[in-house]
Structures are given as C-alpha cells and as structure tokens.
Amino acid sequence: MNPVGKPGKQGALMPVEQALARLLAMAEAAPIVERERLPLAATEGRVLAEALVSSLDLPPWPNSAMDGYALRVEDWKGEPLPVSQRIFAGQSPEPLQPGTCARIFTGAPVPAGADCVEMQENTQVQDDQRVRFTEPLKVGQNIRPQGQETTIGEQVLAAGTRLGPIEQGLAASLGCAELEVLRRVRVAVLSTGDELVEPGRPLGPGQIYNSNRVLLCSWLKRLGCEVLDAGILPDDLPATRQRLAELGDVDLILSTGGVSVGEADFLGIALREAGELALWKLAIKPGKPLTFGHFRGVPVIGLPGNPASTLVTFALLARPYLLRRQGVQQVQPLSFQVPAGFVWPRPGNRREYLRGRLENGRAIIYRNQSSGVLRSAAWAEGLVEVLEGRTLEEGDVVNFIPLSEVLD
C-alpha cells in the first residue's frame, strides 16, 4: 500500500486520483485559519473566511424592469388612463391614485397600488396626455419584486469562495464595503540545480536559464499567494537540508528539480532523512517523481524539474492543494470531452497530459511532447488527458482541460 520507494528503486506508481486525494486530505488537515478584513476592492483573488449573508432584500423594493407606465390591471377597462405622477430611479413615489397610471422608468420603485408595468412601446399617448394600452396586461408583468434576488438572512456566498470580479460585484450589491478573508498562503519557491542561471546573466558551459522560478512565482501570485522567492539551491545535500530548515516560516515550500533518482537529486533524500516523505512517484506523465513530504513540520512539494513537468504537476496537484488549504471546495479544473485529432498508438503506464489545442473541434497535440519543452505549453490551449493503458484512433474521445482553468 505504501507507494513511497527508496531512491533508485522502481516502486509502484500511485494513480493520479489517489495522489490528489491524499494531497487534499493533507491540505484539509492543515487549514489556513488566520483572517483579515479587507476593503472590498482589495479582495480580488482572496478566499472568503466566513459566509456572506445578506443584510438586505435585493431589490429592496419592487421596481420597474422597463421604461413605461405603472398601473393596476383592474383599472384598465379600455378607457385611456390619466398620468398621475412621474417616477424616476432614485425617487420615492406616492401611492398610485386609483383609476390612473404613473409614468415610470427602469429601476424606479413601483408605487403602492400598482401591480403591473407596461413598456411604453405597447402604449399610445392621446392628445390629452392620457394613455391607452394596446396589448393585454398581466398582473406582475415587468415588476422586479422585492427580494427577487436575495432576502435578508440568506447565505449568498459560502465560506471558502474565491473572490473574483463577479463575487466582488455581488458583495457590493449587498452594501459590503469590507470582507473577511483568509490571510494569503505563504509559499517559498526554490529552484534546485547547479546548472541554473538567472536570465540576464551570460550562460556558461553546461548551464541553462531558470524558467521554473518566474513561472511558479507569477502563477502563485495569480492564485493569491504570498511568494517568498528563495532563489536557486545548489545540488548538494547539506545545502538542501540547511535551506529547507531556513525556510521554516511558510505554509509550503515549493521546489523544482532534484526529486528523481539521479546522484544530484537531493530533495527526496533530505525529506527521507530529516523529514517525512508522504508521496513519491505518480502514474503521471510528465511529472512522475513528484514528491510531497514535510521538513520540520513544514509541508514541501517537490515538483519535477523539467519545465513541462513542473507546469503539469503544479496545475493538477499543487494548485488544488494550495486552494484546499484555504477551504476552497472547487479545486479541480473543469474539463470537457472532445474527439482526438491525433493517433496514440502505444499505451503507457502513466496518465499522459499532452500539451494540445483545439482545431476544428478536435484536440491536436504539439509535435514535441518532451517534458523539457515548455514551448509546447505556450503553444497549447489545454492539456489532453490520455488514460493509462489506452491507445487512440482519430475521433476517439479524450478529456481536454483548458489551461485557462488552471492559471488562476
């Protein structure tokens, strides 16, 4: 049952669902609970700490959905009705005089005594300014009743809701100037690898530029996290231990590289020796050596260093973990089924997440699916999921996960 193998051993691969379920359970066991009260405009991307309960009826009073005339349907007997008042949005009308109608505009309160609004296009105004109604009238028509959207005391948003423009707009419509949100998740980002050089510096022999660092830091910020950029860590066991210990005051250490079985892969070893390793080696491609554990009680996710592996495992595993730490329930990206526009002749023992896009309603994939090729993801619109053990003919149905679903 325990999937965690020893370095160098080809242990059993853990299915992706099982790994995700374990990660989410561990996230739930370490929830972020500290809160802060923020001005509404500053809550974008944050998570509600408590349910948002309406303190008013919305709309607060019946109001007109149209520009036209308010009347009591019973009063219309075929004889034109005189106009007894004009009501604009923002005004407070008098009760409607029996036997009359009121000129009314969209959003204006419907006067007491009126039970119908007719749009002006279905009326004729006589020379004497009385109004004739040209279509049948119905009680309630074009009136937005009090509390139609929300009534006092109703829960409008649940705790754990991520706040975006729509939720902020909804909170504003209820008059909330501030919201109680969870504090940001603090994530330390570590790039491991002796070969890494930051962009802007010359490349020496054997060196490559560090792309994972900016990719993850930007992505985490979009997810509302507080990012501690912990720079590059050399491939060295004592240095790895020391750096992990230094990064204590965070909710998560997120590193890339150094999790496979090479002689310069030290993250997993440091966790095994001085920490605790909970997950290692998943049936996912790219991303097999994904590592999860704790170092002195601090959760550590070690994403595989290949840039496309970093991207896929962050999207499908680390992102849900981070969101669930904040109590977010909807952590899995929405996806849909499309016919494959490619052939997949050889079944794999890992679930593949191919970088693909849609063309004429079919999923096509980037020509080079190497986990080192980040360009595949820049070209792609989504991840095409190919299950373990499957082959595909053109037209077979595959699951497509839009990248836009995981980027924030």
Ligand X SMILES: Nc1nc2c(c(=O)[nH]1)N[C@H]1C(S)=C(S)[C@@H](COP(=O)(O)OP(=O)(O)OC[C@H]3O[C@@H](n4cnc5c(N)ncnc54)[C@H](O)[C@@H]3O)O[C@H]1N2
Residue 304 engages ligand X in binding (rule: CB under 6 A): yes
Determine, following the binding rule CB under 6 A, whether residue 288 of this chain makes contact with ligand X: yes
**Minimum distance from residue 312 beta carbon to ligand X (Å):** 10
Q: Which of 63, 306, 326, 376 binds ligand MOO (CB under 6 A)?
A: 306
Among residues 252, 237, 371, 235, the alpha carbon closest in space to that of 302 is found at 252
Least distance to Mg ion, CB of residue 174, Å: 52
Task: Answer yes or no whether residue 286 interacts with ligand MOO by CB under 6 A.
Answer: yes
**What residues between 127 and 186 interact with ligand X by CB under 6 A?**
none
Nearer residue to ligand MOO within complex by CB, 288 or 324: 288
Helices (H), 60-211: 165-173
Please give the residue whose beta carbon sits closest to ligand X in the complex.
305
**Pairing mode, if any, of strands 196-197 and 63-64?**
unpaired
Among 118, 235, 265, 381, binds Mg ion (CB under 5 A): 265
Pair of tokens at residue 398: 């595959």
118 versus 235: smaller Cβ distance to ligand X: 235
Q: Which stretch binds ligand MOO (CB under 6 A): 187-195, 232-240, 304-312, 316-324?
A: 304-312
Q: Which does 376 bind (CB under 5 to 8 A by kind): ligand MOO, Mg ion, ligand X, none?
A: none
Q: 299: cis peptide before it, omega within 30°?
A: no
- Kindly tell me which residue out of 168, 309, 326, 376 binds ligand X, with binding defined by CB under 6 A: 309
Whether the CB-CB separation of 61 and 93 falls below 8 Å is answered with no
User: Rounded to whole angstroms, what are the CA distances from 89 to 56, 96, 149, 331, 359?
Assistant: 19, 16, 18, 41, 48
> Applying CB under 6 A, which of residues 3, 62, 268, 287 lies at the interface with ligand MOO?
287
Distance CA 358, CA 181 (A): 37
Q: With contacts defined by CB under 6 A, how many residues of the chain interact with ligand MOO?
A: 8
Minimum CB separation of residue 290 from ligand X in Å reads 8
Please give the residues from 366 up to 405 whose contact with ligand MOO meets the rule CB under 6 A: 371
Please select the residue that binds ligand X; options are 30, 176, 261, 364, rule is CB under 6 A: 261
Pick the binder of ligand MOO from 213, 281, 285, 351 (CB under 6 A): 285
Q: Which residue has the tokens 């009260």?
A: 37
CB of 354 to ligand X, least distance (A): 15
Cα 400 to the center of its chain, rounded Å: 17
- As a whole number of angstroms, the distance between CA 363 and CA 346 comes to 18
Q: Is 312 in the site for ligand X (CB under 6 A)?
A: no
**Residue 351 in the binding site for ligand X (CB under 6 A):** no
Please state, in angstroms and as integers, the Cα–Cα distance from residue 106 to each residue in 59, 65, 124, 174, following that order.
13, 5, 19, 20
Residue 192 binding Mg ion, by CB under 5 A = no
Minimum distance of Mg ion from residue 18's CB (angstroms): 24
Q: Which of 150, 255, 256, 326 binds ligand X (CB under 6 A)?
A: 256
Per-residue HEC secondary structure of 85-113 comes to EEECCCCCCCCCCCCCEEEECCCCECCCC
Q: Which stretch binds ligand MOO (CB under 6 A): 7-15, 43-51, 189-197, 286-294?
A: 286-294
* Closest to 317 in 3D by CA, of 376, 233, 401: 401
H or E segment to which residue 357 belongs: strand 351-359
DSSP codes of every residue in 223-267: TT-EEEEEEEE-S-HHHHHHHHHHT-SSSEEEEES--SSSTT--H
Cα–Cα distance, 399 to 386 (Å, whole number): 8
CB of 350 to ligand MOO, least distance (A): 7
Site string for ligand X, 43-82 (x = CB under 6 A): ----------------------------------------
Please give the full DSSP string across 10-38, using - where no structure is assigned: --PPBPHHHHHHHHHHHHHTS----EEEE
Give the contacts of 59 (CB within 8 A, at least 6 positions apart). 144, 145, 146, 147, 148, 149
Residues 254, 257, 259: CA angle, nearest 5 degrees: 95
- Per-residue x/- marks for ligand X, 190-229, CB under 6 A? -xxx-xx-----------x-xxxx----------------
Q: Which residues in this chain contact ligand MOO in the complex, by CB under 6 A?
A: 285-288, 304, 306, 309, 371
Binding site for ligand X (CB under 6 A): 191-193, 195-196, 208, 210-213, 256-262, 265, 286, 288-289, 304-307, 309, 371-372
